[in-house]
Amino acid sequence: MARPKPALRTTASITTAVALLAGAALAAAPAATAAPGTAPAGSTAQGLTFHDIPGSGGITLKGNVFTPAGAKAGAKHPLIVFPTSWAMPQIEYLAQAQQLADSGYVVVSYTSRGFWLSGGKIEVAGPPDIADASAVIDWALEHTSADPDRIGMGGVSYGAGISLLAAGHDPRVKAVAALSGWADLIDSIYSGRTQHLQAAALLGGLGLVTGRPGDELTRTLKDFLGSDLDKEPEMIAWGKKRSPATYLDRINANGAAIMMGNAWGDTIFPPNQYASFYDKLTGPKRLEFRPGDHATAEATGLLGLPNDTWTSTRRWFDRYLKGERNGVDTESPVQLKSRTDKGYEGYPDWKSVGTVKNRIPLDGTKKVWANVDSGANGGIAILSNALDQFLKLPPTVSVPLLPRTFASVWQSERYATEQRIRGTSALHTTATSTKPSGTLVAYLYDVGPLGVGKLVSHAPYTFHGQTPGRPFPVDLELYSTAYDVPAGHRLALVIDTVDPLYIEHNPTGAQLTFSSPGTDPSHLSVPLREK
């Protein structure tokens, strides 16, 4: 049955969603002005040709093609296919496509089905989208100088997810560059069994503004935002069908070389699910994490400006589609950039990141009233972590001023040396609720001498079906990150029950108690880079 939800909280959630939808419409307006697909099929503009490409099920996809200049008749060239990001038109990759074509690639980009002037409805990387990717490859092999033995796919966000899925369904795909994408859709927007409100509202709003949502998407989004627990198994099954992790065995069997890149603060597809998927890949692979939010790490490259992510992407394709010995396969395959440092760090694998564990005890018993935002929160989707990326301004809070009635706070000692956090912090505690359902959000802060805390990481956690008054264990992984805590600072863990990023499930009058039994002490494990 659907959980009870106080009117005030319902109004706040709807207000947040409406605000995001309005922002999405404004953000999409400039793109609409420049929307492609208006050029006749086969027309040319500055070396770029626009085409109507047959998709699966008889629909038409609006696409464009870059061909290497001066290509000799009969010569074959490696092919790269770029499906567009969610709500983006086919001109999204023009700058990068031109650079790739200049270096000898045939590049085909197409507007994903259901968006702009492409046919069909939005299927959220469902089977029709996967079939579209193969249909575009078929078309490219017939109508361009593409080499059937050297085919790659890539893209940002939605294009990344479709590319990974295609690698598990079409063995012709030999290399993938999946940027700011997802491997597990459920673990992305429903992590901790908590709906990511702003992420879902943003995606839903952009879909309405720029495309035609399918009936399945409309129904699933309604059930998701409406917190209909009776529909939870259906929603999870819907997400698993659209998750590359579900097809891991096929992806490994096909053997495509896979590069994955993401931002530490991605509020649409948090980094944990990418790292988990990367660990299970058995073919050639590379994982890169950088500061920023969803797609902000790639944004300047889409404008044609120098960009580390796109440089790595070109090197990856050059190695695995052209066979160039450029060293990308001999470097440490895991490359991380700290949010507080300019350099990159290389690791042999993900488990080698943050091997030293700093265990912070969470002693005592603390009780909080639910349903009130203490002031600690994860910020605003896209905006807050972009500010952190470009201006080093993460969400902040005055830790001494947090109301202990609504937030539980624990602090470490002051550190004599810099603490270089790398990887995934893990919370273990014992909770007791006065209600069967509830939501808590854990935040990790870097606290300076004046008590100002800068957000290092956070994550939500929702429970259902607990017996009121009976303690139960809580194990929660915070979002992975790389952050350097200066000497003289301390770390603070804050737990409250409301965050605008998420839908919370706290009934009216609920209280949560956090304790640390002697037989099972509560703690926060913080991973650190070896000195």
Mean pLDDT of 136-157: 98
For residue 149, what is the enclosing H or E element?
strand 146-156
Whether the pLDDT of residue 245 is over 70: the answer is yes
Three-state DSSP class for residue 334: strand
Q: What is the per-residue pLDDT across 212-227, written as a single tens digit (0 to 9) for each?
A: 999 999 999 999 999 9
Mean pLDDT of 76-102: 97
Place of tokens 């939010």: 293
Mean pLDDT of 166-187: 98
Structure tokens at 107: 């590049």
Q: What is the per-residue pLDDT across 319-334, written as a single tens digit (0 to 9) for each?
A: 999 999 999 999 999 9
Amino acid identity for residue 19 in this structure: A
Whether the pLDDT of residue 337 is over 90: the answer is yes
Whether the pLDDT of residue 373 is over 90: the answer is yes
Buried b (16+ CB within 10 A) or exposed e, 487-523: eebbbbbbbbbbbbbbbbbbbeebbbbbbbeeeeebb
Mean pLDDT of 177-199: 98
Q: What is the per-residue pLDDT across 374-421, written as a single tens digit (0 to 9) for each?
A: 999 999 999 999 999 999 999 999 999 999 999 999 999 999 999 999
Whether the pLDDT of residue 6 is over 50: the answer is no
User: Mean pLDDT over all residues of the chain?
Assistant: 92
Q: Are 410 and 492 in contact (CB under 8 A)?
A: yes
Quick one: which of 500, 267, 514 has its CA closest to 374?
500
**How much of the chain, in percent, has pLDDT values that exceed 90?**
89
Q: What is the per-residue pLDDT across 497-526, written as a single tens digit (0 to 9) for each?
A: 999 999 999 999 999 999 999 999 999 999
Does the predicted model carry a pTM greater than 0.85?
Answer: yes
Angle at 456 (CA atoms; ends 485, 501), nearest 5 degrees: 170
Q: What is the per-residue pLDDT across 465-485, written as a single tens digit (0 to 9) for each?
A: 999 999 999 999 999 999 999
Amino acid identity for residue 451 in this structure: G
Mean pLDDT of 77-96: 97
Determine the pLDDT at residue 70.
80
- Alpha helix locations (H) across 242-281? 248-254, 271-280
Q: Are 216 and 128 in contact (CB under 8 A)?
A: no
Cα–Cα distance measured from residue 30 to residue 209, given in angstroms and rounded to the nearest whole number: 12
Higher pLDDT, 500 or 72: 500
Q: Are 39 and 94 in contact (CB under 8 A)?
A: no
Determine the pLDDT at residue 47.
67
List residues bridging with 154 in a β-sheet: 177
**CA 523 to chain centroid:** 27
Angle at 38 (CA atoms; ends 37, 43), nearest 5 degrees: 80
Cα–Cα distance measured from residue 245 to residue 275, given in angstroms and rounded to the nearest whole number: 11
Place of tokens 């002490």: 521
Mean pLDDT of 74-90: 97
**Would you tell me the crossing angle of helices 94-102 and 308-317 to the nearest 10 degrees?**
40
Determine the pLDDT at residue 7.
34
Q: What is the per-residue pLDDT across 224-241, written as a single tens digit (0 to 9) for each?
A: 999 999 999 999 999 999
Three-state DSSP class for residue 273: helix
Q: How many residues does the chain have?
A: 531
pLDDT-derived band at 14 (thresholds 50, 70, 90) equals very low
Q: Are 266 and 178 in contact (CB under 8 A)?
A: no
Q: Let me know if 407 is exposed, middle or buried by CB neighbors in 10 A (0-12, 13-18, 19+).
A: buried
Determine the pLDDT at residue 32.
31
Mean pLDDT of 337-357: 95
Whether the pLDDT of residue 243 is over 60: the answer is yes
